[in-house]
Amino acid sequence: MQMKIHSVNIIDTFAEAFPTTAARVLVTAVSVEWARVAATAATGYATSVIGCDAEAAIERELAVDETPDGRPGVSVLFFAFGREALEKAVVNRVGQCVMTCPTTACYNGLPVGEKSIQVGGKLRFFGDGMQISKKLGERRFWRVPVMDGEFTCEDLFGTVKGVAGGNLLIVGSCALATLNAATAAVAAIRAIPGVIAPFPGGIVRSGSKVGSKYKALRGSTNTAYCPTLRGVAPTELADGASCVYEIVFDGLDLVQVERATAASIRAACLPDILAITAGNYGGKLGPFHIRLHDVLIRYPNEED
């Protein structure tokens, strides 16, 4: 079945996503600017669990009435393979990048149950025995002395089973037009609660395929979508294509990832875009198969 939006061909294929464990970390500070500084540092080098300890990015800014301490803040989502890996990544990143940042505090943003990770309870030891705890209802907070006062960090952070690896490939006839379309797609994704795009600016220029001629590498450049390799290697590029950008995004549940897929496709259908497709590995990578045509039908837009 052929489907087009504003003359852009939407390929009848699917994005292949996989399960992860996710946490939401709320970072507050004296100003939203300082909260964003801490969150930006904490999510550095967190683009792909293939090569990083976690996938993470800022979800959104928080108003003073949305935070536990009544200060401005930001919400950050972290994704990893399993709770043990997630706990290690969050503890390291909060300890090195949030606790060190002026005026910050750190709180849990998901319900706490049996499937939780300990963050404040591990960072408290930095207090060298001078740390104290306070319990409000069922929530325990650790207050660690630092040189501008105290760093407050919640003890336990809830986790959920998240979905990682949602993706699009945006194929354009012009590099600048393709970048503009990819930027618009990322903006649409960031408007969906519970979804992040963890790569720089949300955009991937170095999309990969599974495997490599070099045994030490698990992945290598996606030759089928590299314009400079047309004629040298098998290609998936239509005539006139000169640039491809990939968008990769993760969500707290499958519905949100599907909504982000539909919204980002529509946002990317701009002039000089030839086609929008997705990356998959024949169903071998993960159990979530997000069919592009299906999500566009399931989440309609009146302008289509």
Higher pLDDT, 166 or 301: 166
Long-range (24+ apart) CB contacts under 8 A made by 146-150 are 146/99, 148/102, 148/103
Percent of the chain with pLDDT over 90: 88
**Binning pLDDT at 50, 70 and 90, where does residue 219 land?**
confident
- Confidence (pLDDT) at 303: 53
Domain's final residue, options 137, 160, 183: 160
Q: Rounded CA gap, 142 and 153, in Å? A: 5
Residues 166 and 212 occupy one common structural domain: yes
The helix/strand/coil state of 94 is: helix
In a domain? residue 303: no
State the amino acid at position 63 in one-letter form: A
List pLDDT tens digits, range 9-64: 999 999 999 999 999 999 999 999 999 999 999 999 999 988 899 999 999 999 99
**Quick one: average pLDDT of 116-136?**
97
pLDDT tens for residues 231-290? Answer: 899 999 989 999 999 999 999 999 999 999 999 999 999 999 999 999 987 776 778 999
CATH number of the domain residue 187 falls in: 3.30.70.520
Q: Which of 90, 125, 160 is the last residue of a domain?
A: 160
Same domain, 202 and 280: yes
Average pLDDT, the chain: 95
130 has pLDDT over 90: yes
Q: Which residue has the higher pLDDT, 301 or 78?
A: 78
Q: What is the DSSP letter of 228?
A: G
Among 160, 195, 221, where does a domain finish? 160
- How many Cα atoms are found within 13 Å in the side-chain-facing hemisphere of 193? 2
Please choose, from the candidates 34, 48, 33, the residue with its C-alpha nearest in 3D space to the C-alpha of residue 165: 48
One domain, residues 207 and 264: yes
CA-wise closest residue to 11 among 219, 217, 301, 293: 293
The verdict on 38 and 135 lying in the same domain is yes
What pLDDT, on the 0 to 100 scale, is given for residue 117? Answer: 98
Alpha-carbon distances of 13 from 46, 144, 209, 266, 292, rounded to whole Å: 27, 51, 16, 16, 6
Identify whether the C-beta of residue 172 lies closer than 8 Å to the C-beta of residue 241: yes
Query: Model-level pTM?
Result: 0.94
Pair (147, 189) in one structural domain: no
Residues 156 and 189 in one domain: no
The residue segments making up the domain with residue 188 are 3-16+162-298
**Structure token pair of residue 90:** 């969050």
- Do 102 and 186 lie in one domain? The reply is no
Q: What is the mean pLDDT of residues 105-111?
A: 97
Residue 181 and residue 152 in one domain: no
